[in-house]
Chain A
Amino acid sequence: MSLARLWAIMRKELIQVRRDRITLALVVGVPVMELLMFGYALNAVTDHIATVVFDESSTASSRAFAQSFHNTDYFTIVRWTPSREDAMRAIDAGEAKVALIIPANFGDQVLGGRPATAQLIVDGSDPSVAQTAMFSGGLISQVQSGAVTVEALNRLGQSSNSRGGIDLRPVVLYNPRMLSVKFMVPALIGLVLQMQGVLLTALAVVRERERGTLEQLIVSPVKSGELMLGKILPNIVLCLFSTVMTLVIARVLFNVPVVGSTVELLLLTLPFLFGTLGIGLAISVVARNQAQALQMTMFTLLPSILLSGFLYAREGMPLIFQWISLAIPMTYYLQILRGVILKGVGIEVLWPQTLALTVFAVVVMGVSVTRFRKTIE
């Protein structure tokens, strides 16, 4: 192992990355883009649902009731409609996802302290919107009816203590507002690293093969170990840079700070990174050109997104897929990411995941390095 040769390769790789706009975009642009996309557009908690209101009652209490929907972040009243049919048309036309219909007797019923009914018509074509609308609509009505009832009872000179029923108050840990952005941001770091780590490494080798420079390096005194390390080390630096950048954006734009230790997070990231770069190296042995390398990278990405608990909880999957997911490094890395970022735990809790990732990294690297050496020598 010659440090001079290793340094010559690393220096060359860094110059090439700096000159290559596509790689730069991959390192800087993709994390930012993905964070913005998942953070804003694919926010699974739907809010500001377009709502139309047909208020047949047209009383102070009915207007207050409708307004209370608007006052939450979940609904936005886009229009007050003159008729029920008009409200339905608004849903058909896609102008609104929800119509709130308040019948003519609503105001009288409330004033009389009797149960009042209103109707919430929900467009079910997007289940997550429908779910949010029904869930939060129900909550709002409960709160409102409580307030209204108390008000009415007070007016009638009765004590409100007589009101019975169960008052359930759920407490949500770690992500109290259950924002999906908190769930997604740690996962995005995993996604960015996996894509970058695999692709950068695979491309760095395949590009040399395509251009014939690999042939030149093979007849030079460069050893396969120097070549591999020279290509992997700069990528580790780039990947860690992307990680830190994603963390900063997550904190600034989405207010998702790292509860645990950032340094510890980066350290626990290393075994995942080595495993990922190993996959990249394996691809570079097989792929004949850059297009193939890209395709193979995408192929490794899919199970990591679908089965690792990235989007859907693993607990809800059929058993067979839960087992398969145990062979995917992302499964463990996500637990580490969410553990350190959201819960603030460290190696004392996450050591089994770290161990699994280390084993994976050693196996993949071992296989790739042997195969790589064979193609080179």
Chain B
Amino acid sequence: MTTDDAPAIEVHGLTKRFGDRIAVNDVTFDVKRGEVFAFLGPNGSGKSTTIRMLCGILAPTEGTGRVLGYDIRTEQEYIKQNIGYMSQRFSLYEDLSVRENLEFYAGIYAVPRASLAARVTELIAMAGLQGREDQLTAHLSGGWKQRLALGCAIVHRPPLLFLDEPTAGVDPVSRREFWTMIHELAANGVTVFATTHYLDEAEHAARVAMIHGGVLTALATPADFKAHYLHGKLFAIRSADTLRTLAMLQQRTDLSDVSLYGDAIHVLMQTGDREDLESALRAAGITGATVEVIAPSLEDVFISLMKRP
């Protein structure tokens, strides 16, 4: 049974096969209570399959897992009652009003009648939907729908919240407001498990797990990722003739990652330094180019990890 100091999530060797295809392959990790944990990976990498196993709606082929101390194979009913779940589709009833959606999910999660009205009011305030309580959900903008969906997902005050691609298709301002709300929840002790393929979004998390082809390739804090997971140094090169420079750099075999970011070319070099690059540019007849060392973004790390065999 559950104990409050058990990790929010702990899985060992979690594997899911669909026929011959391995969707999730021997994944092991744990999530601490109150942590914001991001599961980062491209589409089809096994993120959703993992989340469905954790929610207790898909049985793993191999491996064990506990969510809030409950076994994901045998105690799904307890898991379902104690988690919140929000998907990228927002799963709201468009023909129901804001209040009716909240009341419906409150009924589904058996929120006591006595505290229901206060809870609904509180969530409407949290989502910034005062004055729109009786508006049909269909008429809300994407950002409002997202915040209402979050409200519906936490109507029963779950200690663990699953977010499956929560900010897909929402404008940047709403995305920022959304993550502010998530951090407030985390500050109040709610554990948050979010899948995403947005790299900037993963930076909101305390720890990031990178999953690719069903395999957990790396697990660290965003700072650790940037500090240790990049093999080599990252340079930004600017020149008058960007395309010729790009072509020249792509010829070289000692550069593992050459790609265009705006007017700059980002280059990852395993060994060697700034002077090597500058002399190489001069040798190729490219003059007036600037080379500088830059701090990697999570995206640089992610691309580098994905390319590694």
A interface residues (Cβ-Cβ under 8 A, vs B): 2, 4-5, 7-9, 11-12, 15-16, 19-20, 211-213, 215-222, 377
Contact = CB atoms under 8 A, between A and B. Distances in A.
Given A20-B95, A211-B94, A219 B85 contact: yes
A217 B89 CA distance: 13
B109 interface: yes
Contacts of A20: 95
Contacts of B11: none
Given A220-B80, A220-B108, A220-B109, A212 B93 contact: no
Given A8-B107, A11-B107, A221-B108, A16 B93 contact: yes
Given A211-B91, A212-B87, A212-B89, A377 B96 contact: no
A377 B57 contact: yes
Q: Which of A211, A213, A220, A222 has the most CB of B within 10 A?
A: A220
A12 B136 CA distance: 13
A219 B106 CA distance: 14
A11 B93 CA distance: 13
B203 interface: no
Contact of B77 (A212, A213, A215, A221): A221
A2 B110 contact: yes
B81 interface: yes
A221 B109 contact: yes
Q: Which of A12, A211, A218, A377 has the most CB of B within 10 A?
A: A12
A80 B95 CA distance: 62
Nearest to B77: A221
Contact of B110 (A4, A211, A219, A377): A4
Interface string B76-110: 01001101010101111111100010011111111
B108 A8 contact: yes
A233 to B, nearest CB: 15
B55 interface: yes
B89 A211 contact: yes
21 contacts: A4-B107, A5-B107, A7-B107, A8-B104, A8-B108, A9-B107, A15-B96, A15-B100, A19-B136, A211-B89, A211-B91, A211-B94, A212-B87, A212-B89, A216-B85, A216-B91, A217-B108, A218-B57, A219-B85, A221-B77, A221-B110
A215 B87 contact: yes
Contacts of B55: 219
B89 A12 contact: no
The main secondary structure of chain B at its interface with chain A is mixed
Interface in B116-141: 136
Contacts of A377: 57
Nearest to B85: A219
A16 B89 contact: no
Interface in B61-75: none
A7 B253 CA distance: 67
B108 A222 contact: yes
Nearest to A214: B91
Interface of B: 55, 57, 77, 80-81, 83, 85, 87, 89-96, 100, 103-110, 136, 162
Contacts of B77: 221
Given A15-B95, A212-B91, 16 more contacts: A4-B107, A8-B104, A8-B108, A15-B100, A16-B95, A211-B93, A211-B94, A213-B91, A215-B87, A216-B85, A218-B57, A219-B55, A219-B57, A219-B80, A219-B162, A220-B108
A11 B96 CA distance: 11
A12 B92 CA distance: 12
A5 B110 CA distance: 7
Contacts of B83: 219
A212 B90 CA distance: 8
Contacts of A12: 93, 96, 100, 104
Contacts of B85: 216, 219-220
Contacts of B103: 8
A5 B91 contact: no
Contacts of A2: 110
Contacts of A217: 108
Contacts of A215: 87, 89, 91
Contacts of B57: 218-219, 377
Contacts of A9: 107-108
Q: Which of B106, B108, B162 has the most CB of A within 10 A?
A: B108
A221 B109 CA distance: 7
A69 to B, nearest CB: 58
A222 B57 CA distance: 12
B192 to A, nearest CB: 16
A211 B104 CA distance: 16
B95 A213 contact: no
Nearest to B113: A4
Nearest to A376: B57
A17 to B, nearest CB: 10
Contacts of B89: 211-212, 215
Contacts of B110: 2, 4-5, 221
A219 B162 CA distance: 10
